[in-house]
Amino acid sequence: MTSKPLVAVLSGAGISTDSGIPDYRGPNGLWRRDPEAEKLVTYEYYMGDPEIRRRSWLMRRDSRALGAEPNAAHRAVAELERAGVPVRVITQNVDGLHQLAGLSARKVLELHGTAREYVCTGCHVRGPMEDALGRVAGGEDDPPCLACGGILKSATVMFGERLDPEVLGQAVAISKACQVFVAVGSSLQVQPAAGLAGVAADHGARLVVVNAEPTPYDEVADEVVREPIGTALPALLRRVAAEGG
């Protein structure tokens, strides 16, 4: 009896578009439509300008992300775990949909943090984003930290902030150790996340790219899938599970 291969899934914005969350860099992405919106998630602007913070809280309040539900692609990854295949998710997303789909939280590495919590930039206390948004709904347009009075922000990695080195280190280790690396819904253009595909390929993993647009790693991939993610990923992971059994 052969042991099942370790499958690493790197997920980008494209895996969540079927859940109603728009991507950022695609043809209709947020940054292309509204370059000013990028300031709302840039650390320097956010910390230095109360008006930017007020607009950021309104954006969070109006965002559909916290109300989004996992789609077939998220569920397929969770089903792979339930099938007994060792799986780890490295996600560029901040929506928490992999965990909502049933994947064990300890098996999800959130490279860019989570939009489901807030964090204080002063004392680093964290809490549910719903609590902060409740204060915004109650009339606080830039709610300060209740513990120290500091500036609150989403527990996401903003432009100008470093990724958590521990999380990134774990992601690199998984990329080196896995036998199958599936990059799904990612442009593979944002470093260092994009480079994980190359790390996996260099260490002998079978690299599969599932994305609507071409990526810089298509040439080194063992398989490139251009079909819609909601149907392509479940089919691919069923095949992976069968082959690894």
Active site residues: 112
Q: What are phi and psi of 233, to 5 degrees?
A: -70, -45
Run of H or E residues at 88? strand 87-91
For residue 83, the one-letter residue type is A
Instruction: State the residue for tokens 């004392």.
Output: 123
Residue 197 and residue 181 in contact, taking contact as beta carbons nearer than 8 Å: yes
| Cα 155 from Cα 115, distance rounded (Å) | 6
Residue 180 and residue 7 in contact, taking contact as beta carbons nearer than 8 Å: yes
Enter the DSSP assignment of 219.
G
Q: Which residues pair with 153 in a beta bridge?
A: 119
